Amino acid sequence: MSLRIELHNQAENPVNRRQFLSTAGSGFGAVALAAMQPNGFAPTALATEGERTWFDPQRARAKRIIWLFMHGGPSHVDLFDPKPELKRLAGQPVPDSFGMIRSRRKVAQNPLLGPIKPFRPRGESGIEISDFLPNIAEHADDLCVIRSMHGDSVNHPQSVYQMNTGSILMGRPSVGSWVSYGLGSDNEDLPAFVVLPDPKGGLKGGPPAWGNGFLPASYQGVTMRAGAEPILHLKPPQGVSERQQRATLELTGFLNREHQALRNGDDELNARIQAYELAFRMQSAAPELVDITQETKATQQSYGLDRKETRDFGQRCLLARRMVERGVRFVQVYSGDTNGWDAHKDVKSNHTSHCLATDAPVAALLKDLKQRGLWDDTLVVWGGEFGRMPMSESGTGRDHNPWGYSIWLAGGAVKGGMAYGATDPVGLRATEKPVHIRNLHATLLDILGVDPEALSYYHNGLDERLIGPTDDVETVQEILA
């Protein structure tokens, strides 16, 4: 591979970097990795900025997070929040005592819809979980179910943003980006923050859900997939040796740094420089990472890779385990395409399909983390952007409900076999020990040993934080092991 470049005086005839990269980096694949985590650090002592201390390893209960995001809004009153009163009042209007701001006509048209499937006490703890999820139910004693979550928007994009970034507005850094910024990666050959989208695509809100916002571009989530090419165009073209590629990379890095020195630290250019280096290292690390054929047949079957209904999500759950095992700090696994769990017309049909696709793989992931010694320092989060209404929609469906819903956490960092908080008797609003999304985020950071008030980034004259203004934000200490 030959390369000929004429360098000119920067002021008179600046090098067109985009043209150069197109010429020198053709087929290199790093362009697709422009926002990847640079050489991360795994802090073993106090991490500070100025006088602020944001990480203390002595406080850390977990090292990593796997977030299973059920896109579309799973129905808490049909999965994790049993409501005998909802069953008793099914078919009737919402009682006035629940304060529904609706016209009488609207209430009459949307009577209460009872739970679709029975709830049963599970495990020694007796937590009630729906028959929709028989495999996850077997792990009831490992689950910390928060039944009093609430947010601020009834719409999908805004709620997806809020659950992922803390704000209903687009453009804020995601939780994974904050974790990547605060803690880095445990593996210099892999990014700190990886996203495994649903292959059918269509997330409402899109990639800003795992974006870096105002943080440096290198902290954005890196999307990957199963198969021989976890990231498209990562492999070099045929006939290009590692030595040739290394030389091209070094020259590219030199020219980029010269270009950057005259532009007062261009953030995106700096991320591009770091991305080239990481992409080069990942060319050997990523293929092994996603090669699930290395797993035993029994492991693959437990994740449902031998069944059509569970194969897609099972692969992503297995990849998540392989990633955290190799030092990835934060992995987010999405279930649900454009509509996902958004059961407006038929809860039974929708949730039967999505529960079938995810139930066994999630249970396998929990079991696998235990067997591989990852349980004690891994936190698993399960939930969507909101829950669903106790009233019917279109007769057999349910509308969005951000005012009271459920998620669950699992792993050594939290108390298993417990339900925290509660919604009202029909599951409409969080009434007992309500947990706002900001408090959930504060708790996740606290579990990682990060002070949610101290972890900040100076932007437009403000010390910005994941949790926003800190006056009314608290960690949920009662759920911590």
Q: Identify the helix (H) or strand (E) that includes residue 299.
A: helix 297-302
Q: How many CB atoms lie under 10 A from the CB of residue 395?
A: 11
pTM, 2 dp = 0.84
Give the pLDDT of residue 9.
34
CB-based burial, 97-120: b 16+ in 10 Å, e otherwise:
eeebeeeeeebeebbbbbbbbebe
Task: Say if 431 falls within a structural domain.
Answer: yes
Task: Say if 421 falls within a structural domain.
Answer: yes
Give the pLDDT of residue 188.
84
Task: Say if 349 falls within a structural domain.
Answer: yes
Q: Which residue has the tokens 């669903």?
A: 388
Task: Say if 47 falls within a structural domain.
Answer: no
CATH of residue 199's domain is 3.40.720
Task: Say if 279 falls within a structural domain.
Answer: no
Identity of residue 186: D
Give the pLDDT of residue 41.
47
Task: Say if 396 falls within a structural domain.
Answer: yes
Task: Say if 90 falls within a structural domain.
Answer: yes
Give the pLDDT of residue 49.
54
- Give the integer Cα–Cα distance in Å for 146 and 419: 6
Cα–chain center distance at 383:
10
Question: What residues are paired with 401 via a beta bridge?
Answer: 387
Task: Say if 455 falls within a structural domain.
Answer: yes
Whether 218 contacts 271, CB under 8 Å: yes
pLDDT tens-place values along the chain, 481 residues long: 333 323 333 333 344 433 333 333 333 333 333 333 343 445 545 565 555 689 999 999 999 999 999 999 999 999 999 999 999 999 998 877 665 544 444 445 689 999 999 999 999 999 999 999 999 999 999 999 999 999 999 999 999 999 999 999 999 999 999 999 999 888 888 899 999 999 988 899 999 999 999 998 889 999 987 666 666 556 666 766 767 666 766 676 677 777 767 766 566 666 666 665 665 566 656 677 888 899 999 999 999 999 999 999 999 999 999 999 999 999 999 999 999 999 999 999 999 999 999 999 999 999 999 999 999 999 999 999 999 999 999 899 999 999 999 999 999 999 999 999 999 999 999 999 999 999 999 999 999 999 999 999 999 999 999 999 877 899 999 999 9
Domain total of the chain: 1
175 to 145, 381, 433, 478: CA distances (angstroms): 20, 12, 23, 22
User: What is the extent of the structural domain holding 118?
Assistant: 56-240+285-479
Give the pLDDT of residue 103.
42
